[in-house]
A and B are shown apart, each in its own frame.
Chain A
Amino acid sequence: MALPSYATRGERIWHYIFLGLCGLVFLFLIGPLLIIIPLSFNTEPYFTFTKAMLQLDPEGYSLRWYQDFFTSSEWLNSIKNSFIVGIAATFLATVLGTIAALGLSSRHMPARGAVMALLISPMIVPLIISAAAMFFFFSKIHLAQTYLGVILAHTALGIPFVVITVTATLSSFDTTLIRAAHSLGANPTRTFFKVVLPLVTPGVVSGALFAFITSFDEVVVVLFIAGPEQRTMPIQMWSGIREQISPTILAVATMLVLLSMLLLTTLELLRRRSERLRGMTPG
């Protein structure tokens, strides 16, 4: 967005003010996430920078809270639970969602708008309402306070993300490629594995990642329907923030920020791969 050479002085000033404002908004977006990283290396049990930290004194920094995290059986157990629930829910959501997306992107799907609206609804209904509703219903059918209950609930919450991403991928899928493969002598199985699957996989994988992060980050539903056995990491954080606020939370938060960076990179690579395969120029 370079300024044209004929811009007046007023336009130039306005342009730089505009860029400055955008810079401030970016700072607002990213600053809080960056502040938490140095804070997690604090020696003292405070949520703020100590004098020693500001003077860059090595004494002011320590791995104390990380050690706390990795030696606490409660935290480690909660991580294990998060992965059990997250992986199972992602698997279910991805399988069900992908199959449904295949149907939804058919040209002859009846009542597509209504069905789509229904499939997306778990994303729209506020979590607290889903949580309350699932609590009532799951207690009735003895699914409350079980792993299966939490997994089914998270599957429902992850489904919209899978459906949205996979339908988007399929809608831009060029069906003439299938005919081209046939005309070049490939049988349907070979066409599916060599042509369709490589083009669709990036969409499915990013849908699965969305579903996983939804489950991995979800507090409210677990808070209501899980028992003490199924405490996941977000619940552990939640009670940590509410009850005894210790910088161990900041250490966990830092690791989660790194995890989201990793996920973001993976998604970006998937997107580029998918564009390259379609013959579009990578952005």
Chain B
Amino acid sequence: MSESPTAPLKTADGVSLKTSLRRAVRRSKLKALLLVSPLLAFLLIAFLMPLFDMLWRSVDNPEVSTALPQTSQALADWDGASLPDEPVFAALAADLEAGAEARNLGLVSSRLNYEKSGMRSAIMGTARRVDTLEAPYKTALIDINDDWGELATWRVIKRESSPYTLSYYLAAVDRQYSPDGEIVAVPDYMQVYVTLFWRTFWMSAVIMVMTLVLGYPVAFLLANLPLRHSNLLMILVLLPFWTSLLVRTTTWIAILQSQGVLNDMMVALGIIADEARWQMIHNKLGTIVAMTHILLPFMILPLYSVMKTIPPSYMHAARSLGGKPFLCFRRVYFPLTIPGIAAGGILVFILSIGYYITPALVGGQSGRFITNYIAYHMQTSLNWGLAAAIASILLFVVVVCYLVFNRLIGVDKVKLG
């Protein structure tokens, strides 16, 4: 051993051990990344880009600036204090003439109609008679439709000629721009979404508490039985977990509806009169019962896996030190199960606020969730910007809950069955 002990260690081919190790680590890092990259690329295209596209759509506002380009430009310098001058009206007449020829005024008229009712008929009506227009355009346009003589009309056009808008988000929280451009609450009878958001949240909280109350004893029983018995009982938890969501919702319709199994049974037993059948479905109760049933396994499984790790000797020790059973449970066992409660609780809550199928089928009018309005605006009213804005708000809430969940528990700890 002639080398001094401080000289760097070398591998057989004379590279220092440190460099060689670093190289090997870099190589295996690269290999790991390469293995993950196809999936990342796939999710980017099939999942993340759609999500970003939706976020984009919730602020995207191309209708006015593309269909009325000259008007938008002419309004750029307008101060909004009094009616615009002749050049702006001339620009509008030119835009409408071009639009009537190209037949592309449909989108812009419904877009402006969301902001100010009457705009659709103002635009479409004027476009139909645009051939008859002659200078001075200001008086000619106001003659055709009074709306062109209103300050508010021009303010709306100017505001919406910007390529981005917050008006979908405002609409999603029951707000709108007043005629002077201030943000105000919409009239009482039109307020829907805030109520629905709150209802979604509190009903999900109720469902979470219900699953906890029902799931805790069951998880405790499963965790403390000998494995042979608990595996058998576990099937009773896993079977609903594996059964189609629609099947489980259908069974609740069969059980709870007014001509259903439960009402028939109570009538047969004489508990209630035939005419006074209980309304247990198509309301909040229906949604809560069915969703508690559907989400219960998601509470039981995390609770079970936490309880399984608590050695029974802790409770024995507490008892032998003289604690009463309830005190021992409250001071020793319960605190140890809190991670399971947090995991199950957040999981149930996240899943619950995003549910669409079950509330739509058993919720009726009063048991509907905000998700039902996303579907409504996607499929029926075709106000996709508003659907995207509501979905983005909901997505934000879910992502926050998910990050909390990830921070507290870690996604890689999630177990399935």
| Contact of A260 with B by CB under 8 A | yes
Q: How far is the CA of A164 from the CA of B251 in the complex (A)?
A: 30
Q: How far is the CA of A159 from the CA of B215 in the complex (A)?
A: 28
Given that A102-B35, A118-B40, A137-B50 are contacting pairs, would A263 and B260 also be in contact in the complex, using a CB cutoff of 8 Å? no
Is A138's CB under 8 angstroms from B50's CB? yes
Q: How far is the CA of A135 from the CA of B32 in the complex (A)?
A: 33
Is A28's CB under 8 angstroms from B35's CB? no
| Contact of A43 with B by CB under 8 A | no
| Contact of A107 with B by CB under 8 A | yes
Which positions 136-167 of chain A face chain B at CB distance < 8 Å? 136-138, 140, 152-153, 155-156, 159, 161, 163-165, 167
Is B411's CB under 8 angstroms from A116's CB? yes
Given that A109-B33, A116-B412 are contacting pairs, would A130 and B394 also be in contact in the complex, using a CB cutoff of 8 Å? no
Chain B min CB distance to A12 (Å): 12
| Contact of A22 with B by CB under 8 A | yes
| Contact of B189 with A by CB under 8 A | no
Given that A130-B50, A241-B250 are contacting pairs, would A264 and B242 also be in contact in the complex, using a CB cutoff of 8 Å? yes
Is B264's CB under 8 angstroms from A33's CB? no
Is B39's CB under 8 angstroms from A97's CB? yes
Chain A min CB distance to B201 (Å): 13
Q: How far is the CA of A189 from the CA of B19 in the complex (A)?
A: 30
Is B244's CB under 8 angstroms from A152's CB? no
Is A124's CB under 8 angstroms from B46's CB? no
Given that A115-B36, A117-B406 are contacting pairs, would A107 and B251 also be in contact in the complex, using a CB cutoff of 8 Å? no
Q: How far is the CA of A135 from the CA of B51 in the complex (A)?
A: 10
Interface size on B, residues (CB 8 A): 91
Of chain A, the residue at the smallest CB distance from B242 is A260
Q: Which residues of A contact B36 (CB under 8 A)?
A: 99-100, 103-104, 109, 115
Is A46's CB under 8 angstroms from B259's CB? yes
Is A110's CB under 8 angstroms from B32's CB? yes
Q: Which residues of B contact A97 (CB under 8 A)?
A: 39
Is B214's CB under 8 angstroms from A28's CB? yes
- 0 or 1 for each of A119-133: is its CB under 8 Å from B? (1 = yes): 111101111111011
Which positions 86-113 of chain A face chain B at CB distance < 8 Å? 96-97, 99-100, 102-104, 106-110, 113
| Contact of B354 with A by CB under 8 A | yes
Q: How far is the CA of A267 from the CA of B31 in the complex (A)?
A: 31
Q: Which residues of B contact A196 (CB under 8 A)?
A: none
Q: How far is the CA of A49 from the CA of B51 in the complex (A)?
A: 46
Is B388's CB under 8 angstroms from A241's CB? no
Q: How far is the CA of A219 from the CA of B246 in the complex (A)?
A: 9
SS of B interface (majority): helix
Chain B min CB distance to A271 (Å): 8
| Contact of A205 with B by CB under 8 A | no
| Contact of B273 with A by CB under 8 A | no
Is A126's CB under 8 angstroms from B239's CB? no
Q: How far is the CA of A19 from the CA of B42 in the complex (A)?
A: 49
Is A256's CB under 8 angstroms from B395's CB? no
Chain A min CB distance to B361 (Å): 6
Is B361's CB under 8 angstroms from A242's CB? yes
Q: How far is the CA of A140 from the CA of B49 in the complex (A)?
A: 12
**Which of A30, A46, A165, A168 interacts with B236 by CB under 8 Å?**
A30
Is A33's CB under 8 angstroms from B251's CB? yes
Given that A109-B32, A267-B417 are contacting pairs, would A219 and B42 also be in contact in the complex, using a CB cutoff of 8 Å? no
Q: Which residues of A contact B252 (CB under 8 A)?
A: 32
Chain B min CB distance to A13 (Å): 12
Q: Which residues of A contact B224 (CB under 8 A)?
A: 1
Chain A min CB distance to B395 (Å): 5
**Chain A interface: which of B1-9, B85-93, B97-105, B227-235?**
B227-235
- 0 or 1 for each of B352-392: is its CB under 8 Å from A? (1 = yes): 01111100010000000001001100110000100110010
- 0 or 1 for each of B239-257: is its CB under 8 Å from A? (1 = yes): 1101111111111111101
Is B361's CB under 8 angstroms from A133's CB? no
Chain A min CB distance to B362 (Å): 10
Is A26's CB under 8 angstroms from B406's CB? no
Is A164's CB under 8 angstroms from B246's CB? no
Q: Which residues of B contact A167 (CB under 8 A)?
A: 412
| Contact of B180 with A by CB under 8 A | no
Q: Which residues of B contact A47 (CB under 8 A)?
A: 253-254, 257, 259-261
| Contact of B343 with A by CB under 8 A | no
Chain B min CB distance to A175 (Å): 13
Chain A min CB distance to B85 (Å): 40
**Which of B32, B50, B375 interacts with A134 by CB under 8 Å?**
B50
Q: How far is the CA of A100 from the CA of B246 in the complex (A)?
A: 32
Q: Given contacts A47-B259, A119-B39, could you give 12 more A-B pairs where the C-beta distance is less than 8 Å?
A: A29-B239, A32-B255, A33-B248, A39-B261, A108-B32, A120-B414, A128-B374, A129-B398, A134-B46, A138-B50, A156-B47, A260-B242
Top 10 A-B residue pairs of the complex, sorted by shortest distance between their CB atoms: A126-B354, A103-B35, A137-B50, A133-B50, A100-B39, A106-B32, A32-B251, A133-B54, A103-B36, A260-B242
Q: List 9 A-B contacts (CB under 8 A).
A: A29-B296, A35-B261, A47-B260, A110-B33, A128-B356, A129-B398, A132-B54, A256-B244, A257-B243
